[in-house]
Structure 1
Amino acid sequence: MLSSDTWCYGHILKRGYEGKSVYKNSTIRIDELLCEGLGNRVFPGAVVVAGKNERVLYSNAVGFASTESDRVPMRENTIFDLASLTKPLATALAVMKLVEKGTVNLNLTLTDLLPADVPADKKAITLRQLLCHSAGLIDWMPLYKQVEQGKAGQAKEQIRRLVLQSPLEYVPGTKTLYSDLGYMLLEWIVEVVSGISLAEFVSRHFYAPLGLQRTFFQEVDKPLRYPLEEYAATEKCRWRGRVMRGFVHDENAYAMGGIAGHAGLFSTSGEVFTLCATLFAHYHGKRSDLVEPSVVREFFTRQEDPKGSTWALGWDTPSPRGSAAGRYFSANSVGHLGFTGTSVWMDFDEDMIVVFLTNRVHPTRDNNRIKAFRPYLHDAVARCLREYSA
């Protein structure tokens, strides 16, 4: 049962596609499923934007951006903390551009790339291994507890050194382990090689050319870019003593000043769709203005080393069983998840993009219902989009 104060609404942005319309029952099923997610407390609020052939065909916002006293309804242009979607939509994107420009290549090592005394066990780690999570690094560490707070620049430098000094979990290149630490190093590499921050690099080469006004990194010592009510709230954080809203939820990224390679990017569902649709067009060779299509295709290709990995370069691909993408995304798909309850999947065979953003960690991260919910949502959207073009 939905509570009396549940806010749920939805609509089809475009009802005609080459003279045909979405089957009503499929559309209703998506809307009903999102409202069920609210009723079952999968998330306080969510936005779905989906489409085919780089066009938005479905958009729906449900629930609340915050359940605090203001109880702001979720809107289609609500700004979300994208969490680990930062990895593919900022960090890997920056490396993609650097590869296209010939500034770096994927076989360069940490010794080649960093102005630091790289420990012997990490000297041979390559850019490719960092991107596809096969660099031997630990998945996560509470590094924010080990640095001096209040001095973001110094804290970031300390965290980078701690990452370099951390013990390896396995021999690089022999297996995969999803790692925030690898993407902390990638941000450092982008900064060193380009001479500017990751935030400035992706804005200059991608976000600004696409007119993305609500896709950005929020530095923790700067005022919010937009009014507080335009952001989706995340967790009530014990460490920071408040509900996080407008500033990055991830503690390590916060300690690093808000700009980090593993987390820190903010955006809206619509702008995430625009960015993904642009990459989609480059993949298919319809555009080549931002990145050479062959480089885009290389980054979206599942890596064969180590054997059995599902990772492409900065992106995951559907697992044979139990994929968050559900049952209908083809093997020629890429996607990524974010801890705050965000995700995006693109299917290059079906010409399909699904952006699903939620604030599932609000007010606490002790809510993992979204893991089971995501595949059902993606199945419903995929069926709807398939029928749309039938």
Structure 2
Amino acid sequence: MLIRFVAAALLVLPTPLLAQALTPAETARIDAIVAKSLADTGVPSASIAVVRGDRIVLAKAYGKQSETRAVADAKAPYQIASISKQFTAAAILLLQDERKLSLDDTVSQYVPGITDGDKITIRQLLSHTSGLQDYWPQDYSFKAMATPVTPQQIVDRWAKKPLDFAPGTQWQYSNTGYVVAGLIVEKVAGMPLLAFLQQRIFTPLDIKAIDQDLAIGPNYPSGYKRFALGPVRVETPAAHGWLFAAGELSMSAADLAKWDVARLTRSVLPAADWRLQETPVKLADGSTNGYGLGVSTGASGGHRYIEHSGEAVGFLSENVVFPDDHVAIVVLTNSWFSDAFQRITKGITAIVLPAAPTDTADTAALARARTVFAQLRRGTLDRTQLTEDARFYFTPTALTDYRASLAKLGVPTSFEQVGKTRLRGGFVNRTYRATYPSQTLAISTYALPGADGAFEQYLVAPAQ
């Protein structure tokens, strides 16, 4: 069960842009992206939804959903797998609102027999920092998954092993922790987890969600598998019970998008609960990887996001919300052998999100950095572009080595700034990456402030 995405800054959009529906041209581009991704990868089908301006502006299905469904149906429920975790976490938060439990309660207060259960908190279950061993790290159905299982049986087999680390000291994805969290919901609420979610979240939002164990048969999308580059085959579902609380839900892309709209508008849950779910949990040493309570957070290309992906038997999915842009994207696919769900998400994101604002100083500096790089390849460095210290550094030997080693690489396929511009020691520091088919170089620069500031440093080194 998967997690994704990267980092950068924030963006606030003017209201008119937020209100825009998709244009026919944008919809056509999305259609083309989905069609190409399915054709390139062999993935049978995809179902997508797009939210823009806090409303669903597109919900559409493509391809073959099963051997018996001739026409793709946008209302068909796909297994969303680990995207379900944010719903389990929301159930915990609602129970905390009612003072029936606390995130800082230990699990031993609710589920007995778990290793160090008197040291593990509910918060650590939801943030994958409990130390409980994950019962399903594989990207295939292991032998036991052919036999039905109960949540307690999962707990007995995996949650009573020695911990992988002391609670709160590391981050490690653990479906086991969410099974325990689901049991806590059921004990405290006095009803099945799915019934609680139905009552408190799904009915108010008009979401049709079912247990993924029941979303099997001729009326539902089938999962598909592929061995290496062999033929695409129908996948055999796991036996009942294996995704309880950790990946239990099936729903359409549009229904999942309704939840995303609720996140954007801060409805159904109190605003404080949404904020708490989206706040990265810190480890004992103060570090964090951005994961909150059932969701991953970060920024990419100047856009802040809340995200989670999912992997069920024969299904892969992605759900990403851009809160500052009032945009959300849902992509559900019925295979687990390809990155089509990521390709589609990336392609749609490029269409529906505006480009991040360009820093004109960085743009001008990038052009100057490329020029100096080309000069170093040719051995014709313009020394007027250098400070006294940089001229001292670029001795004849240095220039010879730069030219000899860079010239043979030719022109890079891409040359781009990486990371943020910063000030240090009175200079402006920028880092660049030059990419070749079989080589990547890192360029570290310091320059005097100003549009034509001379370079104090221009160092080139190999990069991963």
Query: What TM-score bracket applies, with the shorter chain setting the length?
Result: 0.7 to 0.9
Pairing of 1:135-174 with structure 2 (within 5 A): 135-141=130-136, 145=143, 149=147, 155-174=150-169
Instruction: Give, in whole Å, the separation in 2 of the partners of 1:91 and 1:298.
Output: 14
Matched, 1:264 2:248: yes
One of 282, 290, 311 as aligned partner of 1:304: 282
Cα distance, 1:52 vs structure 2? 1.9
Pairing of 1:284-363 with structure 2 (within 5 A): 287=267, 290-305=268-283, 307-318=287-298, 327-328=300-301, 330-331=303-304, 333-339=305-311, 340-361=315-336
Structure 1 equivalent of residue 107 of structure 2 = 110
What is the TM-score normalised by the length of structure 1? 0.74
Structure 2 equivalent of residue 275 of structure 1 = 259
Instruction: Give, in whole Å, the separation in 1 of the partners of 2:71 and 2:259.
Output: 25
Change (3 A) 1:297 1:42: farther
Cα distance, 1:291 vs structure 2? 2.3
Instruction: Give, in whole Å, the separation in 2 of the partners of 1:354 and 1:19.
Output: 16
Amino acid at match of 1:83: A
Root-mean-square deviation over aligned CA pairs: 3.2
| Residues 91 and 185 in structure 2, CA contact (< 8 A), matched pair in contact too | yes
Cα distance, 1:80 vs structure 2? 0.4
> Helix, strand or coil: the match of 1:353?
strand
Amino acid at match of 2:263: L
Change (3 A) 1:374 1:310: farther
Instruction: Give, in whole Å, the separation in 1 of the partners of 2:57 and 2:175.
Output: 34
Cα distance, 1:272 vs structure 2? 0.7
Matched, 1:179 2:174: yes
Q: In the comparison of the two structures, how many residue pairs are matched?
A: 329
Amino acid at match of 1:330: H
Instruction: Give, in whole Å, the separation in 1 of the partners of 2:95 and 2:152.
Output: 23
Higher relative contact order (CA 8 A, sep 6+): 1
One of 83, 89, 94 as aligned partner of 1:92: 89
Structure 1 equivalent of residue 124 of structure 2 = 129
Matched, 1:189 2:184: yes
Change (3 A) 1:176 1:382: farther
Amino acid at match of 1:299: Q
Amino acid at match of 1:281: T
Instruction: Give, in whole Å, the separation in 1 of the partners of 2:283 and 2:276.
Output: 14
| Residues 47 and 62 in structure 1, CA contact (< 8 A), matched pair in contact too | yes
One of 220, 241, 250 as aligned partner of 1:231: 220
| The structure with more radius of gyration | 2
Change (3 A) 1:183 1:374: farther
Matched, 1:373 2:343: yes
Cα distance, 1:351 vs structure 2? 0.9
| Residues 203 and 216 in structure 1, CA contact (< 8 A), matched pair in contact too | no
| Residues 87 and 261 in structure 1, CA contact (< 8 A), matched pair in contact too | yes
| Residues 65 and 221 in structure 2, CA contact (< 8 A), matched pair in contact too | yes
Matched, 1:77 2:75: yes
| Residues 215 and 265 in structure 1, CA contact (< 8 A), matched pair in contact too | yes
> Helix, strand or coil: the match of 1:313?
coil
Unaligned runs of 5+ in 1: 1-15, 321-326, 362-366
Cα distance, 1:328 vs structure 2? 4.1
Unaligned runs of 5+ in 2: 1-15, 228-232, 357-464
Stretch moving more, 340-349 or 304-313: 304-313
Instruction: Give, in whole Å, the separation in 1 of the partners of 2:261 and 2:37.
Output: 27
Structure having the higher strand fraction is 2
Structure 1 equivalent of residue 37 of structure 2 = 37
> Helix, strand or coil: the match of 1:341?
strand
| Residues 317 and 335 in structure 1, CA contact (< 8 A), matched pair in contact too | yes
Cα distance, 1:301 vs structure 2? 1.6
> Helix, strand or coil: the match of 2:221?
coil
Structure 1 equivalent of residue 359 of structure 2 = none
Instruction: Give, in whole Å, the separation in 2 of the partners of 1:26 and 1:149.
Output: 46
| Residues 26 and 383 in structure 1, CA contact (< 8 A), matched pair in contact too | no
| Residues 47 and 76 in structure 1, CA contact (< 8 A), matched pair in contact too | yes
Deviations 1:95-119 (A, max 9, x none): 12112222111111112222x1333
Stretch moving more, 374-383 or 202-211: 374-383
Cα distance, 1:378 vs structure 2? 4.3
Percentage identity across aligned positions?
22
| Residues 30 and 380 in structure 1, CA contact (< 8 A), matched pair in contact too | no
Instruction: Give, in whole Å, the separation in 1 of the partners of 2:26 and 2:102.
Output: 45
Instruction: Give, in whole Å, the separation in 2 of the partners of 1:144 and 1:194.
Output: 32
Structure 2 equivalent of residue 6 of structure 1 = none
Instruction: Give, in whole Å, the separation in 2 of the partners of 1:379 and 1:148.
Output: 37
